Amino acid sequence: MSQDDKLFAFALGTSTDLLPRQSAEAKTHSLHFNLNVSARPLKNLSVNTRYRHYQTINDTPSTLFLAVVNDTEGQVAGNSARALISQPYDTTQDQMKLDASYRVFKATHFKLGYEVELMKRSYRAVEESWENTFKGSVRSTYIPNTSINLKGSFAKKVADEYDAFQIFSDRHTASFVAGSSGFDSLPELRRLDVANRDRSKLGANISWFPSDFYTLGVNYQYQEDDHPESPMGLRTRRNQNVTFDINYSPSDTQSIFLFYTFSKMDAEQNGRDHNPLVAGSENDVTRNWRVDHDDKTHTIGLGSRTKFMENRLSFNVDYSFTQSISNTTFAAGSNAAVANPTEMPNLGTVRHSFETIGEYKINENLSWGISYLYENYKEDDFATDNFDPGSVFDTGTIASVIPLTGSNQDYNGHLFMVFASYQLGN
């Protein structure tokens, strides 16, 4: 893939002659290879192994750009923090998966799996990372009128030693690096894709069929990400959701369903207030702060599916209601820059959604239909409520903020659509 569009000037009223090159000169290649092998060495045992290689080869030149700031200032010098070298990133992924499924007894299967992934990166603080994943699941319909699916996995990602100075020296000129602190972000801060991580997943899905007309189900999903070697940034994140549903199908042409879902997310994030103008602030633990996020979401939905005229005409109706509440709490050190943080009010959202679709099948290949979608969304956000576009409000510092759009994110939306579909073949 290549792209060679002309580059814009740094600022209004400046010449493109200030650019290090006149066009993008961007060129990248990708190499993708897949291998899949399946076998059944025993009557009740099946084995599958897969290998994937994906690689980018970026031939875009790495170039020093001396920017013009604020349209009015001159071009920055080579020893400026704004003198930046472009970085043509590359990644290489090698991934192998091995799965084995064994039928222990009638209608019950056990499955074990293992995955290993090697990621290599250029122009990053970490060159290589390995991730090993172990998986297991059970699927059974042994109990009459019941389907059970249980699964779990654990993944551990380990990266090379984190070199915060590497990316800093790659982005800046040698003259700037020589007189600087040696980092853009705090050295203890880890970007998520290259940070060491432990990931645990659990899942359960149980369906019960008390009669030919009813289906009852419960589904639970859990995921936890832990970054034990990341002192700063995201430390932990947990997601849980549980869904209860019921489906009633009195005939082959009609069904009605109802469901309720509860979701919960909580996360812990650490940071430090670093001021480049205050010597030693990057190592001052009294400037540390912590944020705890707690989000809860409730969703209820119902709908129906109906067919008429020997299944040539179908009519679907769906409605859902979602309410979420986000709570954020703070803790901070004793330094005046962060001490006594102010608690923020909760963020609340409510959404109603209604959709209906009618479709008529003209023949085996051609059908047409109409649909209508309505959404109502309301948001209670203390950060943007009661501010008009273009107004100026004080941030408590020298800088002020001028919002470019309205603060009210509430809306009512209506969408009408007429469609046709044609299926090739018989």
Q: How confident is the model over 348-375, as a mean pLDDT?
A: 95
Q: How confident is the model over 327-354, as a mean pLDDT?
A: 89
Q: How confident is the model over 339-348, as a mean pLDDT?
A: 84
- Give the lowest-confidence range in 173-182, 210-219, 320-329: 173-182
Q: Which residues of 16-26 are buried (b: 16+ CB within 10 A; e: fewer)?
A: eeebeeeeeeb
* Residue 389 pLDDT greater than 70, yes or no: no
Work out the pLDDT band at 203, boundaries 50, 70, 90.
Answer: very high
Which of 241 and 410 is assigned the larger pLDDT? 241
* Residue 339 pLDDT greater than 70, yes or no: yes
- Give the lowest-confidence range in 74-78, 189-193, 385-389: 385-389
Q: Name the percent of the chain lying above pLDDT 90.
A: 56
* Residue 83 pLDDT greater than 60, yes or no: yes
Res 392: pLDDT: 59
By three-state DSSP, how is residue 328 classified? Answer: strand
Res 135: pLDDT: 97
- Per domain, the residue ranges of the chain are 35-58+89-160+193-422
Strands (E), 122-162: 128-140, 146-159
What letter does residue 232 receive in the DSSP assignment?
B
Work out the pLDDT band at 397, boundaries 50, 70, 90.
Answer: low
Q: How confident is the model over 394-415, as a mean pLDDT?
A: 68
Res 189: pLDDT: 83
The burial class, CB within 10 Å (0-12 / 13-18 / 19+), for 242 is: middle
Distance separating alpha carbons of residues 332 and 270, to the nearest angstrom: 10
Q: Which amino acid is at 136?
A: G
Distance separating alpha carbons of residues 190 and 129, to the nearest angstrom: 13
Res 110: pLDDT: 95
Mean pLDDT of the chain: 89
Which of 361 and 409 is assigned the larger pLDDT? 361
Of 381, 359, 385, nearest to 370 by C-alpha is 359
Work out the pLDDT band at 74, boundaries 50, 70, 90.
Answer: confident
Q: In this structure, are residues 207 and 147 in contact, taking their beta carbons and an 8 Å threshold?
A: yes
Query: What is this structure's pTM?
Result: 0.84
Which of 282 and 211 is assigned the larger pLDDT? 211
Q: Which residues of 373-404 are buried (b: 16+ CB within 10 A; e: fewer)?
A: eeeeeebeeeeeeebeeeeeeeeeeeeeeeee
Structure tokens that stand for 57 in this block: 């080869």
* Residue 365 pLDDT greater than 70, yes or no: yes
Q: What is the DSSP string of 43-78?
A: TTEEEEEEEEEEEEEE-PPP-EEE-B-TTTS-BPPT
Res 388: pLDDT: 64
